[in-house]
Structure 1
Amino acid sequence: MFKINTLIFTLFALFCCNHILSQNVISDYTQNSDYTELSQDFLINKKDPERAKIIAKNFLNKAKEENDIIKISDGLYMLAEISDKDIAVKYLDSIIKLTVNANDFTYPGKAYLLKATILGSQGRFNESMDELIKVNSLAIASNNVEQQFKTKYYIALLKNELGDFEESRKILETVVSFNKMKFNEDKHYEYDYILSLYAYGNSLNLNDDFDLAYQVNKDAIKLSLKSKDSILYERLLLTSSISEYYREKYDSSLDSINKLLKISNYSNLSTGTKIRIDLHLGKIFNKKKNYDKCIGYLKKSDSLAFKEDYFFPGIRESYELLIDNFKKKGNKDEQLFYINRLLYVDSILDKNYRYLSKQINNEYSKKNLILEKEEIIDSLKKNNKSQFILLTILFVISATLIVLLIYNNKKKKIYKQRFLNLIEENQEEQIPSEKTISDNNDASNSSNSVELGISEIIINDILKNLEKFEEDRDFLKPNITVSSLSKDFNTNSKYLSKVINSYKHKTFSNYVNELRIRYIIEELKKNKRIRQYTIKAIANEIGFNTSEAFSKSFYKTSGIHPSFFLKELKKQNEKSNMPVESN
């Protein structure tokens, strides 16, 4: 008994001694370590949250003792990096408040950037974009190029979430180029370079450029394996698997997923990654005609999505496959269950993703899920009162959807015809020749001069100036007003306005805007380079100050929106470039 008590006492003494020594070490850490040493130790111990937290707090205490605002911010940033998301945001808000007037090269931009990343990971995309806008403004003001490109990276990721895949790809191309340049100069930029390649590969998948995506992923994986960074390697395996799937290399796609699951703990993966893995496995086994495995993985994906309330546009495919598989099996109960699930998911996506209504154009939308649901319910012969009420509601909804579909199809046909009319028109048909204008002017000037209260000489002079204005394409200049143009014509604005109203049969602004629109329509038809521009860039090119004003004028003049016109031009161009098969 004495020996046992002695052993217990000895162990207790050792524990107390060790605790005291560890406290002294921690205390000495602050006094005897400089900021560089603490920062390096933090990075080394980042995967050990408890140890990293001690180092970060020591860093912070040291900074507080020295009253160094920027170092205090560094300490808070360290804590934010290793804390739960909600707590991390509080640390970042403290940094922003502390440094908002500090005129620092790095802060508060760095804090805004991490906050935007956290908000984006929580699906709070609008809030995330607000933070990124703040970072961008600060980075430009301080000429912090690295911060500008980090901001571009996260904006590109948000654009992917919102469905703007092409724009995201363009942004990521510039980010990859910048990070490659930095990596070639300094190997410490390796992580940023690999991360940008991963994002770029994912963007290429979303843009259906699967061969290039595969090559980009392959290059990134080589770098990742050299750097021994398992986190990026896992992400790259998933992106690579998706590329292989769409290249119809299903075994290779499955192999990449299996590698991912082999090197990582499934339970430690993020919710989004788990759902995407199960969805992707379901798609692979569907292609391999192993329908039971397909259904099993898709059910897992659905269950986790509803449990965690985590939905994204790509998850629709999971429900489409489940509905299709149970339809083949003749299992109407399950079919109906997943139709209901898909209708709910669509309602969430419609609320969170504005672009979705434009993007969804698949088999289930065309067949009208509501009508299919009605048929299944009817075939199950549920004739109770509540069923009758439900069917009535469904009928009303279905009828409304049918009317909307008919209206949209009719609208599309009208837009298509208007587009074809614009393609067939020539510039000469739009802008009358100088001779025609002169002939018309001579015939009507005498009578109009009396009506307008302007001498015939002044009218002729204004009309000749307008001819030159059109020929020289001066209407492309920005900020043209009736006042500025009348000064150029050496006349007064009232005379100019009256002549344009009488002879062009338009207001001054409509006259200038229509000239611009007619001009750009012809340019877009023949100039491939301009077709690559954004709507905003095209607007600026022809004198409009905003893309909204340009779009409004384009629609008023042509009867279609510029985005529709560009999309149809692209389709037409792709058709004309298709190789002709020989018999």
Structure 2
Amino acid sequence: MFDFFMVFRTYIIFISLFFGSLISASGQTDSIIHSHYNFANNQDLELLRNIAETYRSELDSNKVHSANITSFVARIMTNRPLASKLLQESGTQYFNQENYIEALKCFKLSLSILGDNKEYSFVASTYNQIGKSYRMLGSYDESLEYIYKSLKLYEKLYVKYNKTTYKEGIAASLMDIGNIHYNLKAYNIAIIYYKKSLLIYKELFNHNHEEKYKIITAYLLSNIGVMYKNMGEHFQALKYYDKSSKIFTETNHKIGLAGVFDNIGMVNLELKNYDKALRYLYKSLELWEDIDVKSSISNTLLNIGQVQIKKGQYEDAFNSFEQSLSLAEEIGANSICIENYKYLHELYFKKKDFEKAYTYHHLYSTMKDSVYNLESTNKIAEIQISYNIEKKEHEIELQKAKMKAQKKQIVLISCISIIVLIFSIVFFIQKVKQKTANKDLVKRNLDIVESEKRLINIKKDQEILIKALKDKNVSIEPPKLSQNRSGYILPESHKQELIDKIVYLFEEEKIYTQKDITSDKLCKMLNTNRTYASKVINEYFNKSFSDLLNEYRVKEARRLLSDFQHKNYSIEGIAELVGFSSPATFYRAFKKFVGVTTSFYIKSLESKRS
């Protein structure tokens, strides 16, 4: 299968630096260089000296040889950003040459040379390159550590400066994290990071309409397809490959399109659609040959041979594998050679040509072991770079500190668990108490309702008595009020008149059921002004007019809710009957005067009735 990750890393290349002519500084020595910068060891100095040798012929256009390498290095060290960028560029060259250990040396020394004079965008970029180098060496923990450093730094820079460059850095870091999880075979996690990166690149393209964002988007879609393919979700993989191929076709990006065709072919191989697989693989091969990428031509021929075996076309498969092997040996693509040796061994074994079968099996085993040992050597060398003697001396102390911290964490977690348990118990007890208190409140309210019903019956008896007295020509009238005496102190007799009239209007006339009742309307009914009416209500009832109004309404609502005849009424219907203009106001007033919510009150009533 075509490796997009290998192609993509070569897609981004740093812009070459331009430097002015150098002034001769002969007579400076290594000790002077060390006075500018304290190198960790002589190897670091040697590395920088080699870089100086590489660039001297380019920078010294007049071929002035009087300035030796040592003086050139000393000159560079007076400008640390220049030295750091030289090292980073050299690291990038080593990376593209697949010499990842030397690349790491350059990138790390590039950061250390900067010292306190750090350009944070440069640091973020270098963190990213270190992370990629570790990934190629198979040190995925270290790779993730540096890529996350890069991501966090880009995020801070973007928040502070809001520049597109930093947003690109965030997207690239997310994609690199996805690549690491791909290597770890955590395909589902890789998809998450690819999709996060994809969203940012789509946003960048929608804002800037630069073709490079569109192409990167296509690579990400293809990467997601690879993940789904590896997870066995072939049709989902084909869906993403199709999206990717459309973009590559639109932008005429042959490298990307060739890779997608290769991947589609291999999915169809797994789906046993062999003819379709071959069609796409031959399309891929044609594009690779047009671009002349030998490693990819060799890889695609290898894939074609696999399909031909499945179709029983053994002679065609022989030709494909031999062509693939010839190119792979020419360019030193050992991983492709290994696969070719394996399949050629199988084919010769089927032909019963056991001598050649043994030869290819021997080549397969030998090279596989050789590659494995080379990888091991690279990893060991990288560990030597990453972990110096000072860190090793502190390993035991760090382990002890870690164990101590873990013990503290266990104690802390235990304490927090106990506190949470205590709070949970207290909360539960409070809830039980609250529920009991609410039930008591409901019981008291029901007792009040029963008392009010008895009072209503007494009033009915009084009305019968009054009617009987009227029949005997005895005049009984509601209390009357005299004219408004604005500006005078209200005599006690008139206060009592107002109180009696208010009680009559609320108890008998039930004016509170009128939605539009106001204090002004009440004053007109009382034939007095607002000052006197408010004063009487506040002194006698010990509350404002609105509270008095809502209290009577809630009392009536409580009575109606308790009445079996109104059991089919909705709460909103009851609220409207007693004069509330909105359910929300009714709910608040009910909770205030009754002490429990309407829903709890109704549930308690239903429980009592059942």
Normalised TM-score (structure 1): 0.44
Q: Which has the larger radius of gyration?
A: 2
Structure with the bigger RCO (C-alpha within 8 Å, sep 6+) is 2
